[in-house]
């Protein structure tokens, strides 16, 4: 199955909620706490026709009008007929923290641009969907020196992957092969930003390693 487009869920981890609150520059920061506690999740279309998405070893990009760019390592759900998850993969929801922090209504500009997403390296069908996935992130500079490394688990998500998929397809027809990225629980330090030549590696057991460089 070839991915035909991808969506994202946001503020699904407590760590992500806290990061959004920290970066917010207006009183609208409360929306992040509200959506984290609400039944309805945040969902947004990342790439309708894979025009902004690259695969393994492809080059991700940063926005020219942003000074604070980060990778967001995420478990991706591959949806089949009827919107049920049929496989998993790895995704990188590259994002501008300063643009989103300036105003939550700027989230399409913070999230949707050339090279803003990476997906791969493979699809896997879990033996047990209830088991958590460990997600590891490593960022290195152009010389290979480690800039950040961290690990989280999908068990720390506020909502289950199947719950997120159910919300996505509610009154919203999406084609088979759609990928839903389920949010990030790994956030680099506030003084870090993606730069040209950096390498981002995201590893999930059973799927592999998604490796991309910054153009």
CATH assignment at residue 27: 3.90.850.10
Tell me: pLDDT of 208 over 90.
yes
Residue 131's contacts (CB-CB under 8 Å, 6 or more residues apart) are none
Determine the pLDDT at residue 1: 58
pTM for the whole structure: 0.94
Tell me: pLDDT of 174 over 70.
yes
Q: Are strands 95-96 and 85-93 parallel, antiparallel or unpaired?
A: unpaired
Range of the domain at 108: 5-214
Count of domains forming the chain: 1
Distances (CA, A) of 185 to 19, 135, 142, 151: 10, 9, 25, 8
What phi and psi values does residue 5 have, to the nearest 5 degrees?
175, 165
Tell me: pLDDT of 155 over 80.
yes
Mean pLDDT of all residues belonging to the chain: 94
Determine the pLDDT at residue 2: 64
Determine the pLDDT at residue 23: 73
Tell me: pLDDT of 162 over 70.
yes
Per-residue pLDDT tens digits for 89-145 = 999 999 999 999 999 999 999 999 999 999 999 999 999 999 999 999 999 999 999
Per-residue pLDDT tens digits for 20-46 = 667 777 677 788 889 999 999 999 999
CA angle at residue 80 from 155 to 94, to 5 degrees?
A: 55
DSSP helix/strand/coil, 108: helix
Tell me: pLDDT of 191 over 70.
yes
């Amino acid at each position: 199955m070839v991915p035909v487009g991808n969506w994202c869920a946001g503020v699904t981890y407590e760590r992500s909620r806290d990061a959004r609150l920290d970066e917010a520059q207006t009183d609208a920061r409360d929306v992040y706490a509200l959506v984290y506690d609400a039944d309805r999740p945040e969902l947004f279309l990342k790439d309708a026709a894979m025009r902004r998405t690259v695969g393994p070893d492809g080059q991700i990009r940063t926005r020219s009008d942003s000074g604070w760019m980060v990778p967001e390592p995420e478990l991706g759900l591959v949806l089949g007929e009827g919107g049920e998850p049929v496989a998993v993969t790895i995704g990188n929801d590259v994002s501008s923290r300063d643009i989103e922090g300036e105003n939550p209504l700027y989230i399409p500009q913070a999230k949707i641009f050339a090279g803003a997403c990476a997906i791969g390296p493979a699809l896997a069908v879990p033996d047990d969907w209830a088991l958590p996935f460990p997600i590891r992130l490593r960022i290195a500079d152009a010389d290979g020196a480690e800039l950040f490394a961290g690990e989280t688990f999908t068990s720390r998500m506020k909502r289950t992957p199947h719950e997120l998929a159910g919300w996505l397809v509610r009154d919203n027809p999406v084609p088979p092969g759609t990928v839903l990225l389920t949010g990030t629980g790994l956030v680099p330090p506030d003084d870090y930003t993606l730069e040209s030549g950096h390498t981002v590696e995201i590893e999930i057991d059973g799927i592999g390693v998604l490796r991309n460089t910054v153009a």
